[in-house]
Each structure stands twice: as structure tokens, then as C-alpha cells.
Structure 1
Amino acid sequence: MTTTENAAARADESGTPEPESWRIGSLETLAVVLVLLLLVRNRLAGWLTGPGLQTWTTVFVSVMVQAVPFLVFGVVLSAVIAVFVPRSFWARALPSHPALAVPAAGMAGVVLPGCECGSVPIAGSLIRRGVTPAAALAFLLAAPAINPIVLTATVIAFPGQPQMAVARGVASLVVAVAMGWLWLRLGKAEWIKLPHRPDLDDTSKARAFWAACRHDVMHAGGFLVLGAAAAATINVVVPGAWLQKLADDPIISILVLATLAVLLSICSEADAFVAASLTQFSLTSRLVFLVVGPMVDLKLISMQAGVFGRRFMLRFAPTTFVAAIVVGTAFGAALL
């Protein structure tokens, strides 16, 4: 007997209806929001007419307008490759020796574009098809950072500074290969637990394609909006003197932007435009931002935990974060 039936039976026995537990729903939430807006309406009116809002809007719109075309193209192309390219192809294409398969899988990111939202499930599928986990993880880290879409977006976001795209691509590839070799040396098979993926494995290609597009647009697009809003808010809310003080310290500025990359969780097709807007910071610290973001951020940490397991995430994400900071800083000092 269900809970509803039990409640009805008790009501029949006692002659009085069983009281239902009260829960907060969308209507109650909307009522609270409306009350709060009424209480702060005078202050909101001042904010909405001030120059700060104009600056915020300008930064937000400029980031979105530049980033959205790359995001859409990247999502569609990632879905096409994830659905229509046979996953077993990579098991045959990669070298049989694991140590050689790692850099080959990393370089595959150049010809297999996709944002980090798509690279995580694709890496899990590669492991299911027999690809060595070290090679699949090298692909997972490299594909969102060194593919042509991301590098082209970086060139456009930093006009007249092509060395930024070069440094990003090389540094990201070095981190990806190094992490693959490190996993090959220290990783354990029991740290990875892969769930079943019925959305791509057990449906028609057309449905799988649209499912992949919807997933990436909802996740990557949503995080892009949040990232653009956060970048605009930083430019408006945080006093320029504070940002300049953080930016003046070479070590603190690198750590701040590395942490910001994790928190903002911006799609790799769009993060270059956000980095370009942080003009107070040096090119090296912004390079670290671009190297860390596609490899370690909040959405990737949660996706890695869901696809590979919590034990894997607790070991892989922090190590990647440190490696990305060290390698990004080194290449920034050498190339920028």
C-alpha cells in the first residue's frame, strides 16, 4: 500500500482527513522574491539608472556577442563527433603502447573539437571501448583547450597577440600529456567507476545528436551566461584599486585568476573573451586562467565525479589544478 493510500485509510478510520505536509513550491518562492523586490525597490532604482549598470551591461553584452558563435559551433561539432564517429575507431587508431598512446590521444584534440562538457563523456566512452585510461584522460584534458575553435577564439579575443594562442595550446598539451603519463605511472583501475550511458548508447543517432546538443547548450550556455555576468560584476563591483593591487603581485595574480577559472566554470569556446576583459592582470596570469579553466572547474569536477567516480575526482582534479598553474606560469614567462 502506498503512502497516499495509508493516509486515506487513516482518514477513513478516524473520520478526519490526514493533514498534508506543507512544502515550499515555485508559487511561494515567487511570492518571496516579489516581496523582497518591493522592499528594495528604491535602492534598485538607483542601481538601474547609475553608470555602473551601463558599464556592467557593456561588458556583459560584449563578452556574450563575441563568445556565442564559437559556443554554438563547438556544441554542434562536438555532438556530431560524439554521435557519428565510431568510438571503436580510437582504439584502433591509437598506438598499442600506452606511453605512446598518451601524446597521440592528446594531439587528437586538435582534430576532435569539443567543449569540456562533451570531452568528459567521450573520454568515458573511449575507456569503455578499450582505450587505455591514461590516453583517454590526456584527450579529456587536451580536447577542450587545443582544438581549432578554441585557439581561433583566443586569437580573436587577443588581437595583435598571437603568442597568447600559441602559449595556450602548447601549455595545455603539455599538461594533458604529463597528466596522462602520471596516471599511467600511479593511477589504479579501481579508482575509475564508469556508469552506463543509455542516452548515447541505446538510442538512434538522430535522438542522440539532439540530446547531446541540448545537454551541451543547457550546461555550457548557462555557464557562459554566469561567467559573463561574473566578469561584468568584477569590473563594476570590485574597486579598481583592489584589482590593480592583486594584479601588481605576480604570484597572487596567478593564484587569483587560477581560482577564478575554477569558480566561473566558463566553456572553453568562450573563456578567452572573459580573460581578455580582465585587463588589469598580466598576460601570464590570464594564460594560467585559460589553461586551468578547460581542465579544472566546478562543472568539470562534478562531471568527473559522476562519470569516473568520486575517488578518481578527488585525486585527479587537484593534481591537474597544480600542474596547470605550474606549466601555465612557465610558458607565460617564456613566451609572453
Structure 2
Amino acid sequence: MHVLVAVVVGLALAGSFLRSFVAGTPDIATAATVFCGIFVQAIPFLALGILVSGAVAAYVTPDRLARWLPRRPSAAILAAGVGGAALPGCECGSVPIARRLFGEGAVGAAALTFMLAAPAINPVVLVSTAVAFPGEPRMVAARCAASLLTALIMGALWARFGQPRWITRRMPHLHGHDGSRWTVFTEAARHDFLQASSYLVIGAAAAAALHIVVPEWVYDHLAGQLLLGIAVMALLAVILALCSEADAFVAASLSMLPLIPRLVFLVVGPAIDIKLFAMQVGMFGRAFAVRFAPVTFVVAVVVATGVGLLVVGNR
């Protein structure tokens, strides 16, 4: 927080110089316009998602979620996937909840299904996608269907092939739950805001840089090579590690690419990226993460591509 305040004050003091520099440099002006457009559009949905995530942390305990889940694996997987839409929040918050569901004896497959579905198909994410892609309702439907199907497939794969011995990390004690609900809410919201907004800044800056650093012929080549575009956007989703409540605006800014590679970007990002892999190692253990993450990546790419071809077409 101290670093953030210092940076804001420094930028405010240097505002006149920076404004003159941006106005006199066309490429920087273009990048600044793209960055501000993405950030301003995304921040309301990010703020809403953070408030909801804090409320979930304060009022919807993992113990209660575990009691709600059916005991049959197939029913639990389906309930967890659909239930993810009712509990919106950032993917960073879904990992600890999923880990605690493991610890409390809930069906492991359902916990993983919830971990993948909640940050990808909740109302905040779908509304932000609709705003980012005006006039493209099929993108919203395709993202919801592909993300839910990815979560259900991974849950089913864990139920069939998963081994409890891969879970080598114990669930840490949550000190925040010892205080009042207001304390839990404020701490969760503050943590999510600082973490999610930082990734939003990085993602918006990366998208802005792509507009001025990458030559036009590269985008023309990617636009004509569907498989190559899908591979590049899938890897970009893993590297950028954007918040699911703001990634649609970054994808929409890459209008030079077809819709299917951008759909893959939106499906892969909330399922697996660098920060999620690190969190899975910390919460579940390395043995789990090195098996779960690659399979999730492949499933998300294949499912998103197939759903994209059926729903949005090759546009």
C-alpha cells in the first residue's frame, strides 16, 4: 500500500511532463489510449467482483459449502459446476475454498469443479464479457458453455483418475475467521483488490504494448492461421494471469484477431495461469499441480476451440 501511494503521488507530480511526452509521441499516445480504455471499462466490474468475493468470504463458509454438496460424485460435480455461477468471485479466492472442501471431506472432484467454474461463469464475469463484446451475445454463451464444460470434464477426470496422495499440503488456519464478519469482509476485499488490480494493470499494459510493439503483419498472419492464433492466445492467457472479471476487456481490445482465439484466451485464463499454478502448489502441493495444471490447459484449449467453432464460427 505504501508503494502504491508513493507511485500515485509521483505520477501526480510528474503529470504535466508525462502529458506533454504522451501527446508528442504518437505510439505512446496510442498505447495510453488502449491502456486507459481497458482499465476504465474493467474497473467497475473488478470492484463489484471484489465486493461479492468479500461477502462470500464473510458469510458463505467452506464448511457450509461442503454440507450442501451431494455425496454421489456425479451429482456433486454437476452441483459444484452449476453452483459456481451463484458464488461469484476471483479465481484467487476459489483455490482456498476448494482446498478447504478437500480438508473437510467433501468430494474432491466437486471441489475442483467449483474451483474452475466459480471464477469463469459467475454473473459478474458474464456481464463484463457482454459489455466488452457488444453485439456478440454468442461470445458470452460460448464462454459460459466452454468454461462450465471444462470444469465438469476436469471434475470427472479427477473422480476417475485422481489420487488423494497427490494432495500433500495441509490447509492453513484462517486467522481472519476468528474476527467479526466485517473484519473478514474488509480483509478479503482489500487483499483481492490489491492483487486483482495489479494483474489488471499488468494485463492492460501488455495489451497496450502489443498494439505498438508487434508489427501489423504478425496480426495479419495470426488472423489467417487459426491454430497458430489459438496457441498464441492460450499461452498469452497463462502468462498474463489476468483476473477473470477484467480479462474480457483485454481480449476485446485485440480486435485484429478472430473470435475463436480470443475465446480460448477467456476460457484458459480463469482455468490455469502462472499465479493459479503457484497457488495450487502452495495449497495442494507440487505433486497435484504438475499433474492438474497441464491437463487443465489442454482440456480448456480443446473445449474452447470446439465450442467456438460450433457457437461463434470462424470469424
Fold shared by both chains (TM-score > 0.5) = yes
Where does residue 158 of structure 1 map in the other structure?
Answer: 133
Where does residue 249 of structure 2 map in the other structure?
Answer: 273
**Residue by residue, what CA displacement relative to the aligned partner does 1:97-138 show, whole Å, maximum 9, x if unpaired?**
012101110111111001101111111222223211110000
Q: Of residues 219, 222, 236 in structure 2, which corresponds to 1:260?
A: 236
Computed over aligned residues only, the root mean square deviation of the Cα atoms, in angstroms, reads 1.6
**Do 2:281 and 2:288's aligned partners in 1 also have CA atoms closer than 8 Å?**
yes
Instruction: Say which one has the larger Rg.
Output: 1
Where does residue 35 of structure 2 map in the other structure?
Answer: 60
Where does residue 167 of structure 1 map in the other structure?
Answer: 142
Q: Of residues 286, 303, 306 in structure 2, which corresponds to 1:327?
A: 303
Gaps of 5+ in 1: 1-25, 27-44
Separation of aligned partners in 2, 1:195 and 1:89: 17
**Do 2:22 and 2:29's aligned partners in 1 also have CA atoms closer than 8 Å?**
no
Separation of aligned partners in 2, 1:311 and 1:200: 28
**How much has 1:48 moved relative to structure 2?**
7.1
Where does residue 33 of structure 1 map in the other structure?
Answer: none
**Do 2:100 and 2:171's aligned partners in 1 also have CA atoms closer than 8 Å?**
no
Separation of aligned partners in 2, 1:47 and 1:212: 36
Matched to 2:225, the amino acid is D
**Residue by residue, what CA displacement relative to the aligned partner does 1:219-249 show, whole Å, maximum 9, x if unpaired?**
1110000000000000111111112212320
Where does residue 235 of structure 1 map in the other structure?
Answer: 211
Q: Of residues 255, 262, 277 in structure 2, which corresponds to 1:286?
A: 262
1:76 to 2:51 alignment: yes
SS of residue matched to 1:293: helix
Where does residue 223 of structure 1 map in the other structure?
Answer: 199
Q: Bigger shift: 201-210 or 323-332?
A: 201-210
Where does residue 300 of structure 1 map in the other structure?
Answer: 276
**Do 1:116 and 1:140's aligned partners in 2 also have CA atoms closer than 8 Å?**
yes
Separation of aligned partners in 2, 1:155 and 1:241: 29
Matched to 2:64, the amino acid is F
TM-score (norm: length of structure 2) = 0.90
Gaps of 5+ in 2: 4-19
Separation of aligned partners in 1, 2:44 and 2:70: 35
Q: Of residues 180, 194, 198 in structure 1, which corresponds to 2:170?
A: 194
Separation of aligned partners in 2, 1:200 and 1:122: 14
Q: Bigger shift: 71-80 or 90-99?
A: 90-99
Separation of aligned partners in 2, 1:291 and 1:85: 26
**RCO higher in structure (CA 8 A, sep ≥6):** 2
1:248 to 2:224 alignment: yes
Aligned length: 293
**Do 1:83 and 1:205's aligned partners in 2 also have CA atoms closer than 8 Å?**
yes
Where does residue 22 of structure 1 map in the other structure?
Answer: none
Question: Identity, % of aligned pairs?
Answer: 50
Separation of aligned partners in 1, 2:177 and 2:281: 20
Separation of aligned partners in 1, 2:144 and 2:132: 15
**Do 1:199 and 1:208's aligned partners in 2 also have CA atoms closer than 8 Å?**
no
**How much has 1:86 moved relative to structure 2?**
3.1
Where does residue 9 of structure 1 map in the other structure?
Answer: none
Q: Of residues 95, 100, 104 in structure 2, which corresponds to 1:125?
A: 100
**Residue by residue, what CA displacement relative to the aligned partner does 1:11-33 show, whole Å, maximum 9, x if unpaired?**
xxxxxxxxxxxxxxx9xxxxxxx
